[in-house]
Structure 1
Amino acid sequence: MNLTKRIFQLTALFAFFSLASCSTDIEPYEGGIPPSNQTDNSNPTNPSTTSVFKADFDGQTFTANTTQAIVNSNYMSITGTKTTGEFFQITIPGVAVGTYTMHSPTTSAMPFGLLYSPGSGNVPFLATDDQTGPFASFPSYVDTSEIVITNIDQVNKRIVGTFKFTGARFVGTSGTSIETKVFTSGVFNLPFTNDVPAPAGNSFTAKLNGNNFVPTNISGIKMSGMISLIGRRGNVENIGVVVQDNVTAGTTVNFTAFSSDARGQYVLNSTPQGVFGGDGTVTVTFHDTIAKRIKGTFSFHATSFFDPAVFDITAGTFDITYM
């Protein structure tokens, strides 16, 4: 398997895990800050009522229109998205005030993750260890990743911190050259939840290697031109299907791990070794874009670059109101 596919799997891990962990967004307001909370913008690292997610790169400041944050006993996950479809995803394998880098010791199965996606159809910029990661052989890549959590307010449910990193992505499919982008002055001051229940009335069923997969949380979210439909069992393990947000009823898509119009993935755990994806089929039988309700069936054969295990996902169905 080539390096491009390896990057795809690493990226998919963070994207799928984020969506499986949280299925809600703060309602978008101008500037990304609710009117009742437009205070203390001069010091966004100070715990207050400010809600903000921003970062600098390419001579401009990215300011999120919608955000989501999860803080529980296993990990912290933070996402900031613009209406253009651009988004940042931060995943932290710890739940404490302090500084986190690629080399921070951790006992969590959750990987340290920082990525920026220019939007649907674009390869994201991913931060990795410059000694052992997929970009380690390129002298031009120097890891500058740092996340500083300055406050976790468990009473008012707010998380505050700063971040920076250098992201990279492969140019073309040969894996012989990379493009880098430096992100600085990242700040966030956001409300968080421990987990978010999906809207009532959703259903998601499947068989995993012939055995019933019964999710404890079902979610659907529209982002960057795609709809992710996920059934999660426990904190991490999940089966997910992604389709285009303009897909119409009666459409059947045959997909691979690299398809842009549909994908399927099984996440066993929160490590690169635990992400499996591959060839399959999804059929949409109903889609109401106004009510944001979608129904269909799916199946796929999931494999991984890191693990010889094979997982067959069969008899999959979904009937979900997405957000």
Structure 2
Amino acid sequence: MKKYCFYLFTILTVFAFNSCDNEPLEGFDLSNPNSQNNGNINNTQTGIFQVDFDSQTFVADQISATRTDEVINISGLRGANGELVTLTIQGTTTGTYDLGVQNGLTLSGGSYVEPNNQGFGTWVSVTDGVQSQGQVTITSIDEVNNKMSGSFEFTGNNYSTGTAQTKAFTNGIFTDVLFQDGVGSSNNSNTFFAKLDGVEFVEDAANAILSNFSGQQILTINGFKNNGESLSLSIDGDIAPGTYSFDGFGNFTNTGQYVGDDPSEVYNANGTFTIISHDTTNNTISGTFSFIAEEFPQVPGSVNIDVTEGAFSVTY
């Protein structure tokens, strides 16, 4: 179950990551699909993204893809009701990648969010981190035109009702999907600041996204670098001003995470954060944070990082 929770946290980060410079995903609230761009959806399709499940074919009408130094993310969105398939690939070259198999603290995975999801319709390709739940094969990457193609299949697992359920996703393809190198730009009004062991974390983009998993609204605030380095906070979607302690991995909210430029370098936040203001009408939030970033898992010789002077003011 902890592996499932850990990957859900990764999904939240992927949503925010892909939304940095891709309007179809920006400000996307899985618990309120009509909030996306005030209902004005950009139907421009760049390539083909489709997969079979439940005796029908999902064909995305909006596709978003990014590539950093370590990771490829591809998302396909269908309709205005929040139906979404996402692939997270720990690699940047052609080849075949197992889904749901943990390598150090990283794993590649696929996920599906049902339309009109109220928190119980999220399926992810991870169980215990050992058994493969599928594969993604990247067959070609066109470096001139920034397009990639490949195929995928996976078994989606859903633990939100207590008893594990599975769903088969087969015959998946993505063809000539346009991808962006790096995280792009973020909302110009967003600010994000922190120091790591006294050195400023200079992000290339910062944003926030409101989502709903297992009936719980989650607000994820992120600072990204193009090399894959990131600082992320995941908090209650309706959080009130005040000071809170970070919880550990295995929880959906009140967690913090630092990921180094090597995606196997994952650190859990042990400290506090303060919400200064939160306007749920205009979707703005500001606050501060400081914590010891503890290498996860903690083993003899683990190195911790002192995160200080953290501050954010973002729109979601």
Same fold (TM over 0.5): yes
Summarize deviations over 1:204-228 as a string: whole Å, max 9, x none: 22233x4234223232132424432
Report the residue type matching 1:182 in the other structure.
A
Measured on the aligned residues, the alpha-carbon RMSD in Å equals 4.0
Q: Using the TM superposition, give the Cα deviation of residue 193 of structure 1 relative to its aligned residue in structure 2, in angstroms.
A: 0.9
- Structure 2 partner of 1:216: 203
Q: Using the TM superposition, give the Cα deviation of residue 145 of structure 1 relative to its aligned residue in structure 2, in angstroms.
A: 1.9
Structure 2 stretches of 5 or more lacking a match? Answer: 25-35, 213-217
Supply the distance in 2 between the matched residues of 1:135 and 1:151 (Cα, whole angstroms): 28
Would you say 1:284 and 2:275 are equivalent positions? yes
**Closer, same or farther: CA 18–100 of 1 in aligned 2, 3 Å:** farther
Q: Using the TM superposition, give the Cα deviation of residue 236 of structure 1 relative to its aligned residue in structure 2, in angstroms.
A: 1.9
- Name the TM-score, length of structure 1 as normaliser: 0.68
Is the Cα–Cα contact under 8 Å of residues 68 and 228 in structure 2 kept in the other structure?
no
- Name the TM-score, length of structure 2 as normaliser: 0.70
Q: 1:159 aligns with which of 145, 148, 165?
A: 148
Secondary structure in 1 aligned to 2:74? strand
Structure 1 stretches of 5 or more lacking a match? Answer: 38-49, 137-142
Supply the distance in 2 between the matched residues of 1:122 and 1:231 (Cα, whole angstroms): 28
Would you say 1:184 and 2:173 are equivalent positions? no
Q: Percent identity?
A: 26
Is the Cα–Cα contact under 8 Å of residues 112 and 123 in structure 2 kept in the other structure?
yes
- Structure 1 partner of 2:314: 320
Q: 1:12 aligns with which of 9, 14, 30?
A: 9
Summarize deviations over 1:214-258 as a string: whole Å, max 9, x none: 22323213242443222234512221112344445x354444234
Q: 2:180 aligns with which of 151, 171, 193?
A: 193
Q: 1:275 aligns with which of 266, 284, 289?
A: 266
- Structure 2 partner of 1:232: 224
Report which of the two has the higher share of strand.
Answer: 2
**Closer, same or farther: CA 25–256 of 1 in aligned 2, 3 Å:** same
Q: Using the TM superposition, give the Cα deviation of residue 318 of structure 1 relative to its aligned residue in structure 2, in angstroms.
A: 0.4
Report the residue type matching 1:262 in the other structure.
N
Larger Rg belongs to:
1
Report the residue type matching 2:310 in the other structure.
G
Q: Using the TM superposition, give the Cα deviation of residue 6 of structure 1 relative to its aligned residue in structure 2, in angstroms.
A: 3.7
Supply the distance in 1 between the matched residues of 2:287 and 2:63 (Cα, whole angstroms): 28
Supply the distance in 2 between the matched residues of 1:253 and 1:84 (Cα, whole angstroms): 33
Report the residue type matching 2:204 in the other structure.
N
- Structure 1 partner of 2:43: 34
Secondary structure in 2 aligned to 1:224? strand
- Structure 2 partner of 1:42: none
**Closer, same or farther: CA 21–306 of 1 in aligned 2, 3 Å:** farther
Q: 2:65 aligns with which of 66, 69, 76?
A: 69
